[in-house]
Homo-oligomer: A and B are copies of this chain.
Amino acid sequence: MPSMGETNMSRILVDGHGGDDAPHVVIDALAQVLAKQNKTVKFGICGQPEVLLPVLREKGLEEVVDIIPAVDVIEMCDPPAVALRRKKQSSIHVGARSVRDGEWDAMVSAGNTGALMAISKFILKTLPGIDRPAVSSMIPAEGGSTFFLDIGANVDCSSEHLVQFAVMGSCYLQAAEGVESPRVGLLNIGSEDIKGTDVIKVAAARLRESNLNFIGNVEGTDIFTDKVDVVVCDGFVGNVALKSMEGLAKLMLTQIKRELTSSVIAKAGAMLAGNALRRVKDSLHPSEHNGAPLLGLNGIVVKSHGSADAYAYACAIDVAIREVEAKLIERTLESMNQMADAS
């Protein structure tokens, strides 16, 4: 096995136990990333060796991927608080500790989101100046995508929290996606300055004075346009908006399918148009968008969707690599310091 700590090498640890088809999907994803890597990244997998080693061997990866042993496994149904306190030898606990201790640069997991957030926050803590971490999602939009946060970690937010989310989101898009000057908008019920709650108005005033590229208030419709890159809101609003989108997309695709199979002519049309409709469906949940960073932590953690396939999981690993290589933590700290100097 390669020794730890080669200089200039990004070290990415994956959770061997999260997601629908672990560890197979996770290890297949590692194989895909390794196949196109030019040796600048070192990989580890965290979890029960007796489960992980046979699969690594089967894929011929036992020599290139380190196993970091962990005895416990957190299940999807475990309440986050219980997982945090009772399963201290879980793969997520062990992984987060090894990121905290500088042994690995980032962790990727497809496990229980609530538990991943609770454990990461407990072990890694937040960055200085940041009160709360946030969960984010990349939303498909006209001409690209929009980075949307918080989507559920924080139900009650102060103006200061929203300002911190704006910094975190802007730094992420710069570091991981290479967007030079991300346009940041505050989600509101109208674009005028007088609209919205006092929390929003104070946050907008602070953001206008900041060095972020703040474009002001944006509305729900704007998320899907090319008008804004980062949309900031509290976790209650973000979660409701995201789930409303999911519900509507499902209803529309069901209706389209039903209408297309309601007559012989439409059925013939559906067969011809089938690939086009499949592409639309896929574009709502692109594999390339898998890998949601948990932002604001003093360490890099990326959440893969539980149902991700190997290609999608590999995309989440790529997110972690980009965050490490672009020094997201340092950039975010620097940006927070600039905000503090400006105020």
Contacts and interface: CB of A to CB of B under 8 A. Distances in A.
Interface of A is mostly: helix
A8 interface: no
Interface string A221-238: 111110000000101110
A80 to B, nearest CB: 11
A235 B195 CA distance: 12
Nearest to A241: B244
A34 interface: no
Interface residues of A, number: 60
B239 A221 contact: no
A220 B3 CA distance: 48
A235 B276 contact: no
Nearest to A283: B255
A5 interface: no
B245 A260 contact: no
A266 B275 contact: yes
Nearest to A199: B156
Contact of A221 (B187, B243, B284): B243
A276 B268 CA distance: 12
Contact of A239 (B189, B242, B254, B284): B189
A250 B221 contact: yes
Nearest to A148: B244
A142 B220 contact: no
A222 B247 contact: yes
A142 B256 CA distance: 12
Interface in A246-262: 246-252, 254-256, 259-260, 262
B266 A241 contact: no
Contacts of A276: 256, 259-260, 262-263, 266, 269-270
Nearest to A242: B220
Nearest to A245: B248
Given A156-B197, A256-B276, A223 B235 contact: no
Contacts of A221: 243-244, 246-247, 250
B252 A252 contact: yes
A92 B262 CA distance: 45
A45 to B, nearest CB: 31
28 contacts: A155-B189, A187-B240, A189-B239, A196-B236, A219-B243, A220-B240, A220-B242, A221-B244, A221-B246, A221-B247, A223-B244, A223-B247, A236-B237, A245-B248, A248-B248, A252-B284, A256-B276, A259-B273, A259-B276, A259-B279, A260-B276, A265-B272, A266-B273, A266-B275, A269-B269, A269-B270, A270-B273, A272-B272
Interface of A: 140-142, 152, 155-156, 187-189, 195-197, 219-225, 233, 235-237, 239-252, 254-256, 259-260, 262-263, 265-266, 268-277, 279-280, 283-284
8 closest Cβ pairs, A-B complex: A269-B272, A220-B243, A269-B273, A259-B276, A220-B244, A221-B247, A224-B247, A189-B239
